[in-house]
Structure 1
Amino acid sequence: MAQNQGGDAAGSSGGGGGFFKSIASGFSSFKNQVHGLLGYEGLEVINPEGGTEDAEVEAQRGRWKQEERDSYWRSMQKYVGADITSMVTLPVLIFEPMTMLQKMAELMEYSHLLELADECEDPYMRLVYTASWFISVYYALQRTWKPFNPILGETYEMVNHCGITLIAEQVSHHPPISAAHAENEHFVYDITSKVKTKFLGNSLDVYPLGRTRLKLKKDGVILDLVPPPTKVNNLIFGRTWIDSPGEMILTNLTTGDKVVLYFQPCGWFGAGRYEVDGYVYNSDEEPKILMTGKWNESMSYQPCDLEGEPLPNTQLKEVWRVAEAPADDKFQYTHFAHKVNSFTTAPKKLFPSDSRLRPDRYALEMGDLSKAGSEKSILEEKQRAEKRIRESKSQEFVPKWFDQTDQIASTPWGELEIYEYNGKYTKHRAAADSSGTVEEVDITKTEFNPWQFGNVAETS
């Protein structure tokens, strides 16, 4: 596995499966084999296991047929170096039957860690639990299928899991911004998320512009997260795989304590892949607890001295382990991912704007790629039509459950407009839950409707 150590575009994001450069002559031969196969100078195929014995076989792997790869590359090569977050129409072949809003909800799978954090008296162990919670979602993020981009005004609701009520909403289309709020008796979680990308030909850098706030209710401490960037390798040629090299920083804004964890980049022959190491620091930046593990497997911790060495008579203890997943699942879903997609986690009187009701998502879930593609195109055209109506009326889109603030947050990858939860959903949900009416949702009969001006007619 090659890691780019130079200063070119492929390496500017901080690593994560860069181009084959400055390597031994044997591996240079491998590089030439790949170029000869592809016919496109500059595209690299990177084996996630690090093998180099057969470049042609590796390049032919993946979900694309040869003619599809050629056609897709011809249409995409003009975007090299650009942010393609919402400017490119992608084929449903590479999608999973879930939206970005639902993917945000997958963080709730291991919410028991937040219960432990909230009840914990040790401020450093509290950070061990919360950092492990944030790491736990990376097992889901390693899936190589792309979630659907939410339609403006689309929502996702989740209840019936550990007492959590979650609402997510697509609050902006250009730039694409999602906001979510989740809460139970132990915590309050709020996030504004704006993804920024850089297309590099056969790979994609993903920069997580976002502001995350986690409040633990017992002591009222507030935590802030800065996650590492992500790199999607082998988009067109070879087996697609994902790496997230870089630092995750979780800061207790109340006390100044923090966790700094380093996600190792995948090295030659897969060395270091999935590994995470770092420390919990006090406000004086002295290490108190070391943390180590793999983001797709488990995390452990051990008290340490000021040099970062384990304290005598202490042992490494496991704090989190990934739950058993279904075998041979088509979309690499966990049991919880299936739960997120089902109506068992849906509340009474589900909004017609809910992601579960999207016809393109449902068609893909049923295995009908042709219908999924046509339904996706219809939704996208309706979104464009509604934008024209909004502009003709000189109106701005106004989210229902989140308010745009005048705050602009600085992130390592750019500035972010902040949306805050306005509390209206809590009142709505309380009223709906107290009503005696139970409305069963039939996905085949309930029309998806996130539209501000009603279900706009399909138009050119």
Structure 2
Amino acid sequence: MDAPKKNESKGGFFAAMTSGISMFGSALHRSVNGLLGYEGLEVINPDGGKEDAEEEAQRGRWKQEDRDGYWKMMQKYIGADVTSMVTLPVIIFEPMTMLQKMAELMEYSYLLDLADECEDPYMRMVYASSWAISVYYAYQRTWKPFNPILGETYELTNHGGVTFIAEQVSHHPPMSAGHAENDHFTYDVTSKLKTKFLGNSVDVYPVGRTRVTLKRDNVVIDLVPPPTKVNNLIFGRTWVDSPGEMIMTNLTTGDKVVLYFQPCGWFGAGRYEVDGYVYNAAEEPKILMTGKWNESLSYQPCDLEGEPLPRTELKEVWHVAAVPENDKFQYTYFAHKLNSFDTAPKKLLPSDSRLRPDRYALEKGDLSKSGSEKSSLEEKQRAEKRQREAKGEKFIPRWFDLTEEVVPTPWGELEVYSYNGKYAEHRAAADSSASESNVNVESVEFNPWQYGNSSAE
């Protein structure tokens, strides 16, 4: 595997690589306009060139009549943020919510354990940034997760000593907050996705804040991920690319990792590749990192020019775990665990994503029931909003508090939610009394509502 190029300036090799390259795609790709009579259509075959676009357009999961009808319906949204404004068919969904998707960052949480235990400040950043990269194998799935209902939650236990709680804290705009913790770290995130629909693709901007605190030395790490482009939504085989920079900063010491995700070029050239450096607070490169976000990452000490130090070798720090073969939704073993009640605590909150009837029906393969249940939940959500507005009341999240902090991100300002600690108290009380209850958790009715049909404890 080739090491990154020389660090020509404080911007490293990234400045040279990104000049002339747009954030969302390489000039190597060409749009195919007017293809099959559809104005403004773009079809990109990641394994080929522009001459393959017409053939590629005929592929994908859609039947032709469904594809044609959906294209006509969606054209009016071109250029718009479609995060929550469009009712989408369940054929494009996976049996998971965005809250569960947030929990997928915990699969390789052992890397944060290693970062906490590490004495070397630069290797600490190697472990932490590898953890941030590790989730991208799961993020390449081309199915859409369900948007959470306001007040919906997701709990995860029985994984590496980690306790995870996420809650949908806002419906417009859609926002989620999450908190995870074990003996080595705490993880806190406020997430607000912003999108731009481009016809046959959508740009996804991660307007969020992710903070990790390593407990041993109370080191605080901030993460800014790259944006993502989902290609061939309707015509062709859907695929995901995330060209751009991931920046991880140690706010305590000033050390930083900058990793560049290569854009996919002709015949898949550069796809999945990640290269970058760990810099000290003086912005001098200390360790180079290279690999593929769908396979593995390696590291090697380097000099001030970014060249590998003599008598050192490239060492692997992370490798993707084995995955099920021919899985319908491209799930990892960990993704299946996220839907399982085996990873759920006793006395699971009735607002938990596992209990959603539309998600559960899709998991069982019943698309018709999933679609009707999804419509029913959306109508209940609208009814609760009307009832709340009639009372002149506002929704108040249960496990997270809205702070006064508004932080800038590369894609807009973000209101920050903070974990309020109440979940730990709730979980301790629930666990202590769990032996008194023989309720089958799978029989619990999904209930995120705080107005009207109020949530049970």
TM-score band w.r.t. shorter chain = over 0.9
Secondary structure of the residue aligned to 1:394 is: coil
- Aligned residue number for residue 363 of structure 1: 361
Cα drift, residue 390 of structure 1: 0.4
Cα drift, residue 36 of structure 1: 3.9
Q: Determine which of 15, 24, 41 is the counterpart of 2:24.
A: 15
Q: Give the TM-score normalised by the residue count of structure 2.
A: 0.92
Matches within 5 A, 1:165-180: 165-180=163-178
For 2:327, give the aligned amino acid: D
- Aligned residue number for residue 440 of structure 2: 441
Q: Cα deviation per residue 1:42-74 (whole Å; 9 max; x = unaligned)?
A: 211111212455443311111111111111111
**What runs of 5+ residues in structure 1 fail to find an aligned partner?**
1-10, 22-27
Matches within 5 A, 1:207-286: 207-286=205-284
Secondary structure of the residue aligned to 1:313 is: coil
For 1:245, give the aligned amino acid: P
- Summarize the Cα distance change of 1:36–1:415 in structure 2 as closer, same or farther, 3 Å threshold: closer
Secondary structure of the residue aligned to 2:107 is: helix
Distance of 2:35 and 2:290 partners within structure 1: 41
Q: Determine which of 100, 103, 118 is the counterpart of 2:101.
A: 103
Aligned residues of 1:166 and 1:183 also touching (Cα < 8 A): yes
Aligned residue pairs total 434
- Aligned residue number for residue 120 of structure 1: 118
Cα drift, residue 13 of structure 1: 6.7
Cα drift, residue 41 of structure 1: 2.0
Deviates more, 1:379-388 or 1:40-49: 40-49
Distance of 2:331 and 2:178 partners within structure 1: 22
Aligned residues of 1:226 and 1:248 also touching (Cα < 8 A): yes
Cα drift, residue 344 of structure 1: 0.6
Aligned residues of 1:17 and 1:243 also touching (Cα < 8 A): no
Aligned residues of 1:363 and 1:372 also touching (Cα < 8 A): yes
Matches within 5 A, 1:332-371: 332-371=330-369
Distance of 2:80 and 2:22 partners within structure 1: 14
Cα drift, residue 297 of structure 1: 0.5
Distance of 1:326 and 1:339 partners within structure 2: 12
CA RMSD of aligned residues (A): 1.6
Secondary structure of the residue aligned to 1:97 is: strand
Cα drift, residue 449 of structure 1: 0.3
- Aligned residue number for residue 136 of structure 1: 134
Q: Cα deviation per residue 1:217-262 (whole Å; 9 max; x = unaligned)?
A: 0011000000000000000100000000000000000000000000
2:299 paired with 1:290: no
Cα drift, residue 446 of structure 1: 2.0
- Aligned residue number for residue 77 of structure 1: 75
- Aligned residue number for residue 378 of structure 1: 376
- Aligned residue number for residue 90 of structure 2: 92
- Aligned residue number for residue 6 of structure 1: none
- Summarize the Cα distance change of 1:312–1:19 in structure 2 as closer, same or farther, 3 Å threshold: closer
Aligned residues of 1:17 and 1:46 also touching (Cα < 8 A): no
For 1:168, give the aligned amino acid: A
Cα drift, residue 442 of structure 1: 4.5
Cα drift, residue 313 of structure 1: 0.1
**Percent identity of paired positions between Structure 1 and Structure 2:** 78
Aligned residues of 2:177 and 2:190 also touching (Cα < 8 A): yes
Distance of 1:13 and 1:360 partners within structure 2: 38
Distance of 1:149 and 1:391 partners within structure 2: 22
Cα drift, residue 164 of structure 1: 0.5
- Aligned residue number for residue 157 of structure 2: 159
Aligned residues of 1:228 and 1:244 also touching (Cα < 8 A): yes
Matches within 5 A, 1:414-453: 414-435=412-433, 436-443=435-442, 445-453=443-451
Distance of 2:124 and 2:335 partners within structure 1: 26
Aligned residues of 1:246 and 1:264 also touching (Cα < 8 A): yes
Secondary structure of the residue aligned to 1:110 is: coil
Aligned residues of 1:290 and 1:302 also touching (Cα < 8 A): yes
Secondary structure of the residue aligned to 2:306 is: coil
Distance of 1:413 and 1:36 partners within structure 2: 32
**What runs of 5+ residues in structure 2 fail to find an aligned partner?**
1-19
Distance of 2:42 and 2:447 partners within structure 1: 42
Aligned residues of 1:13 and 1:229 also touching (Cα < 8 A): no
Deviates more, 1:303-312 or 1:57-66: 57-66
- Summarize the Cα distance change of 1:306–1:439 in structure 2 as closer, same or farther, 3 Å threshold: farther
Distance of 2:422 and 2:372 partners within structure 1: 35
Cα drift, residue 437 of structure 1: 2.6
- Summarize the Cα distance change of 1:19–1:54 in structure 2 as closer, same or farther, 3 Å threshold: closer
Distance of 1:333 and 1:287 partners within structure 2: 36
Distance of 1:310 and 1:55 partners within structure 2: 41
Matches within 5 A, 1:176-195: 176-195=174-193
Aligned residues of 1:127 and 1:280 also touching (Cα < 8 A): yes
Secondary structure of the residue aligned to 2:436 is: coil
Distance of 2:146 and 2:388 partners within structure 1: 23
- Summarize the Cα distance change of 1:17–1:46 in structure 2 as closer, same or farther, 3 Å threshold: farther
- Summarize the Cα distance change of 1:50–1:213 in structure 2 as closer, same or farther, 3 Å threshold: same
- Aligned residue number for residue 307 of structure 1: 305
Q: Determine which of 175, 194, 197 is the counterpart of 2:195.
A: 197
Distance of 2:316 and 2:240 partners within structure 1: 25
Distance of 1:231 and 1:36 partners within structure 2: 21
For 1:423, give the aligned amino acid: G
